[in-house]
């Protein structure tokens, strides 16, 4: 893959103010202000953002893609076998939804590279938060993206999705986990949206003729470092130890240092949320208790009632939905109601931050690194800890992305059972997709 070359510390040509005429200085400063304004998130009532694919913009992004992958993700290579590329090209000529695992927030860049290699731009279904800035609301639709408020009855987004799948003019990318799980080789339970959207599209197609195939395509993205990361792991551990009040432990094994950081962190979270663990409680039990307490607090504040025996992840998603509804709903009309809403919104946004903290640790467990102490597992866990302790994770590299394309799930094979029991058929198709993804990640 061709890559643009430039200085690590100077990604854009730099002009000094002394080299510019006064008018140029003013215009340059004005341009910086405009760019910063366009990049600034501004909370506003949610409005559906439809796709407005612009091939010129797609070509411009494709031209910059090698630089974007290197600069944002430290990715030097996207590897896809000839057989998988041929399979993907064949599938993109039919009705399909591409369903990748979601280890990082920037995975759509890798899917964009796959679109470049197949010669066909994709559509992308993205959460409403992705469209928070004016720049995103212009750029993402131009390259095929459109919005959805996750977990709600977003009728406009649902209608657009079934129309795109029924039309079949180009593949639609849907991340079935719903959120980036943060782990390279783990998969969160899939949501049933992709299968349900596909069945709705088949219902529309049945009205005009024989049913064509409509497939859910499992795709795995696996990130691997291209050099020894032992020194980087030790530096990262030292950066985490300092703010946690831990003495530098450079002489200890890296795994023991990592585990001590985790134990210190969970103790601080227990203190914050007033969780009192049993004296002999395991790390996993203590982490689970903190998650349960945060989700329970959120449910009380938002008035959410859970079903009996509902799994933690489903409860976490449910309170997320309730918080999103409040944040992105239409603003009240009167000034007084607006002031009350704004006060309540600040409380909900603080709660939202706590929920995101728990989501970071949804697949976090003791022994994950110890059973297979690879650089990828070490740095995946370190990244979650950096987000919590330092406020942001470091992207490290160089790394490559290994992409695999699995055997698709043809929803037409479930259509008769769908007519008998819609919920069971959606669940069965989702289970088949999840089984395929898990098997591909375990290879």
In the prediction, which pLDDT does 38 show?
47
Residue 144 domain flag: yes
Q: State whether 377 and 405 are in the same domain.
A: no
DSSP letter (8 states) at residue 18: G
In the prediction, which pLDDT does 40 show?
52
Residue 29 domain flag: no
Distance of CA 134 to the CA centre of its chain: 20
Work out the angle at residue 269's Cα, subtended by the Cα atoms of residues 265 and 270, and round it to the nearest 5 degrees: 115
Domain housing 187: 40-226+398-442
Q: Decide the pairing of beta strands 145-148 and 123-127.
A: parallel
Residue 402 domain flag: yes
Q: State whether 215 and 242 are in the same domain.
A: no
Give the Å distances, CA to CA, from 175 to 80, 172, 195.
19, 10, 12
The number of distinct structural domains making up the chain is: 2
pLDDT in tens, 254-275: 999 999 999 999 999 999 999 9
Q: Three-class SS of residue 98?
A: strand
Residue 33 domain flag: no
Distance of CA 113 to the CA centre of its chain: 17
Task: Considering only residues 199 and 298, tell me which one the structure prediction assigns the higher pLDDT.
Answer: 199
pLDDT in tens, 3-21: 333 333 333 333 333 344 4
Reported as a pLDDT band with limits 50, 70 and 90, residue 350 is confident
Reported as a pLDDT band with limits 50, 70 and 90, residue 205 is very high
Residue 438 domain flag: yes
Cα–Cα dist 12/199, whole Å: 47
CATH, residue 165? 3.40.1130.10
Cα–Cα dist 10/6, whole Å: 7
Residue 27 domain flag: no
In the prediction, which pLDDT does 333 show?
67
The arithmetic mean of pLDDT across residues 114-132, rounded, is 93
Q: State whether 362 and 234 are in the same domain.
A: yes
Q: State whether 99 and 80 are in the same domain.
A: yes
Q: State whether 376 and 409 are in the same domain.
A: no
Nearest partner of 100 among 162, 161, 184, 199, judged by Cα: 184
User: With 0-12 CB in 10 A as exposed, 13-18 as middle and 19+ as buried, what is 119?
Assistant: exposed
In the prediction, which pLDDT does 309 show?
86
Q: State whether 174 and 306 are in the same domain.
A: no
Cα–Cα dist 36/30, whole Å: 10
Q: Three-class SS of residue 296?
A: helix
**Three-state SS letters, 44-84:** CCCCCCCCCCCHHHHHHHHHHHHHHHHHHHCEEEEEECHHH
In the prediction, which pLDDT does 99 show?
98
- Helix (H) or strand (E) segment spanning residue 409: strand 409-410
Q: State whether 436 and 328 are in the same domain.
A: no
Q: State whether 365 and 289 are in the same domain.
A: yes
Reported as a pLDDT band with limits 50, 70 and 90, residue 1 is very low
User: With 0-12 CB in 10 A as exposed, 13-18 as middle and 19+ as buried, what is 343?
Assistant: exposed
In the prediction, which pLDDT does 182 show?
80
Reported as a pLDDT band with limits 50, 70 and 90, residue 30 is very low
Q: What does pTM read for this prediction?
A: 0.83
Q: Residue 435: phi, psi to the nearest 5? A: -60, -40
Q: State whether 117 and 189 are in the same domain.
A: yes
pLDDT in tens, 52-82: 999 999 999 999 999 999 999 999 999 999 9
Cα–Cα dist 360/246, whole Å: 22
Residue 5 domain flag: no
- Is it the case that residue 174 has pLDDT exceeding 70? yes
Q: State whether 376 and 246 are in the same domain.
A: yes
The arithmetic mean of pLDDT across residues 133-147, rounded, is 95
The arithmetic mean of pLDDT across residues 137-142, rounded, is 96
Q: State whether 402 and 385 are in the same domain.
A: no
List CB contacts of 130: < 8 A, sequence separation 6 or more: 136, 140, 145, 147
Q: Which range (26-30, 44-48, 91-95, 239-243) has the least confidence?
A: 26-30
Q: State whether 221 and 242 are in the same domain.
A: no
Scored b (16 or more CB within 10 A) or e, 223-234 reads: bebeeebeebbe
H-assigned helices in 364-442: 375-389, 415-420, 422-442
Whether a cis peptide bond, with omega within 30° of 0, leads into 398 is yes
pLDDT in tens, 88-108: 999 988 999 999 999 999 999
């Amino acid at each position: 893959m061709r890559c643009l070359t430039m200085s690590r510390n100077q990604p854009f040509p730099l002009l000094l103010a002394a080299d510019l005429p006064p008018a140029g200085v003013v215009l340059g400063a004005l341009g910086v202000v405009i760019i910063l304004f366009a990049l600034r998130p501004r909370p506003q009532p949610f409005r559906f953002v439809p796709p407005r694919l612009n091939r010129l913009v797609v070509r411009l992004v494709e031209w910059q893609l090698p630089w974007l992958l290197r600069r944002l993700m430290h990715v030097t290579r996207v590897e896809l076998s000839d057989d998988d590329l041929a399979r993907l090209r064949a599938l993109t000529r039919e009705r399909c939804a591409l369903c990748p695992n979601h280890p990082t927030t920037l995975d759509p860049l890798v899917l964009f590279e796959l679109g470049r290699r197949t010669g066909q731009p994709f559509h992308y279904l993205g959460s409403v938060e992705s469209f928070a800035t004016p720049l995103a609301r212009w750029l993402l639709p131009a390259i095929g993206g459109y919005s959805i408020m996750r977990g709600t009855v977003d009728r406009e987004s649902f209608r657009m999705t079934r129309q795109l799948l029924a039309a079949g003019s180009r593949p639609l990318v849907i991340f079935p986990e719903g959120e980036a799980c943060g782990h390279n080789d783990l998969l969160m339970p899939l949501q049933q949206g992709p299968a349900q959207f596909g069945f709705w599209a088949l219902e529309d197609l049945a009205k005009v003729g024989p049913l064509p195939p409509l497939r859910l395509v499992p795709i795995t993205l696996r990130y691997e470092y291209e050099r020894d990361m032992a020194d980087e792991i030790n530096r990262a551990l030292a950066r985490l130890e300092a703010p946690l009040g831990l003495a530098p432990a450079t002489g200890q094994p890296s795994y023991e240092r990592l585990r001590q950081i985790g134990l210190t962190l969970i103790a601080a979270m227990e203190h914050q949320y007033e969780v009192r663990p049993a004296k002999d409680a395991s790390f996993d039990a203590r982490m689970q208790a903190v998650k349960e307490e945060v989700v329970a607090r959120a449910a009380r504040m938002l008035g959410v009632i859970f079903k009996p025996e509902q799994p933690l992840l489903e409860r976490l998603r449910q309170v997320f939905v309730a918080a999103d509804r409040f944040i992105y709903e239409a603003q009240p009309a009167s000034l007084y109601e607006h002031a009350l809403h704004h006060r309540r919104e600040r409380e909900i946004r603080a709660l939202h931050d706590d929920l995101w903290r728990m989501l970071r640790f949804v697949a976090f467990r003791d022994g994950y690194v110890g059973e297979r102490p690879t650089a990828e597992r070490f740095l995946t866990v370190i990244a979650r800890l950096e987000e919590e302790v330092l406020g942001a994770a470091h992207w490290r590299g160089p790394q490559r992305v290994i992409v695999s394309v699995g055997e698709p799930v043809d929803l037409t094979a479930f259509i008769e059972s769908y007519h008998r029991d819609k919920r069971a058929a959606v669940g069965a198709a989702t289970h088949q997709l999840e089984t395929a993804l898990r098997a591909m990640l375990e290879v």
